[in-house]
Amino acid sequence: MSENGRYEIFPFSAIAGQEELKLALLLAAIEPQVGGVLVEGPRGTAKTTAARALASLMAPAPFVSLPLGCSLEHLVGSLDLAEALGRQTLRLAPGLLAKAHEGVLYVDEINLLPDALVDVLLDAAASGTHRIERDGLSHQHPARFVLIGTMNPQEGRLRPQLLDRLGLSVEVSNLSDPTQRSQVVRARLAFDRNPQAFHAAWEPSQKALAQRLAYARRLVAAIQDEQIPEIVWETIARYCVENAVDGLRADIVMLRAAKAFAAWRTASACGSEESAKESAESAVVGPEDVNAVSEFVLRHRRQSPTALQPLTNQPPSENQRKPAKQSPPSPRPAREPASQVSATPPQAPPGDRIPENEPSTEARTATENTSANYSTNNDWGEMVPQPVAAAARSNPQLQNWLTTLSHAFAEEAPTKKAPPPK
């Protein structure tokens, strides 16, 4: 990075607040195999500023920003057409994955990136290598980088399968403390006014932080899994079981993050590189290291505890164990013989006239009988048919239409002729 380019980046140690974000980024820089960091939060919360500042802290590490409209060829590389046409040789033009080796690969709005590109990114971040099989070429190159993806939850979320493959997750929010907000504004205005003077004021803190990060990266490489106490393994397993995470990726990431935090904690007590090398054996992972990083690992993987219990293995509830009490069937009233049903409807007294829109007693009786018979012989979800008389009396227009239609059929009906005499 050039001298002028270094002054254009806000110092990492000068970022006020967002302590969880800074710690998660440092853990990913110490142990890139954790699988990157997903930063969720609204705009203007120092997500991009912190990512660029981390790359300057790892100088001369490269900082590669993935554009939103990036293609697969741009990401993984493609055939170098200039070499193929000019020198008649097949050569692979490196993509952004190769350029980000030993540096930081920053993806803004990772939730808006196509899933195919996100899969390639996560595969390379987890394995540390990338293999290309395309255009008649077969090439493999190292791709060890710190993956930092930012997203605004209001613009959509990633699929759960992709979320699980991102190692750590951090949620940032707007600063609510007025004193801290004014401090951030003053620092930003001072940086914009004179970047060189601002960097000079923070140079001692930046240098000490860079040395501490370099020591921690050496310490984490010296921690062997055989030296980790059994209580650490049990604590990690208990965290993952209680939060009902899928698979074992969370266990592996939590162990790597705990090792990185133990190295970072140990390196903070070292004053020089020689003392850091001597204290490599003292960088022991403990349960407190697991507690410090557990929320980073579980925040985007946590599920309901009942999600892992199959339905067939769940014990029956109290209502399922007790047989349902069946009530005795109610006696059905005997139906009136057809001969006893009056052919003509009973006439209401002159003072009790039935309104035009209200069905008569005959219509109500027919509807109730039809509903009772229909509910016992047919499915309960079907509609009960309505008698024509009830529908006609409740709708005068329909009644007039039926009367006109019956008269028309009566006029058109052919008259029967008497048979001729024999």
Nearest of 123, 127, 121, 93 to residue 108 by alpha carbon: 121
CB atoms near residue 163 (< 10 Å):
15
Task: Please state, in angstroms and rounded to a whole number, the distance separating the CA atoms of residues 302 and 324.
Answer: 38
Catalytic residues: 249
Residue 370 burial (CB < 10 Å; 0-12/13-18/19+)?
middle
* 3-state DSSP assignment of residue 79: strand
Task: Please state, in angstroms and rounded to a whole number, the distance separating the CA atoms of residues 379 and 211.
Answer: 78
Query: Which residues are within 8 A (CB) of 11 and not within 5 positions of it... i.e. 6 or more apart?
Result: 53, 56, 198, 199, 202, 205, 206
Task: Please state, in angstroms and rounded to a whole number, the distance separating the CA atoms of residues 90 and 83.
Answer: 7
Query: Which residues are within 8 A (CB) of 160 and not within 5 positions of it... i.e. 6 or more apart?
Result: none
Sign of the dihedral defined by the CA atoms of residues 110, 116, 120, 126, in that order: positive
Contact 12, 56 (CB under 8 A): yes
Angle between helices 47-57 and 19-30 (to 10 degrees): 40
Scanning 194-247, the segments in alpha helix (DSSP H) are: 195-222, 230-242
What residues are paired with 130 via a beta bridge? 141
* 3-state DSSP assignment of residue 8: coil
Amino acid code (one letter) for 180? Q
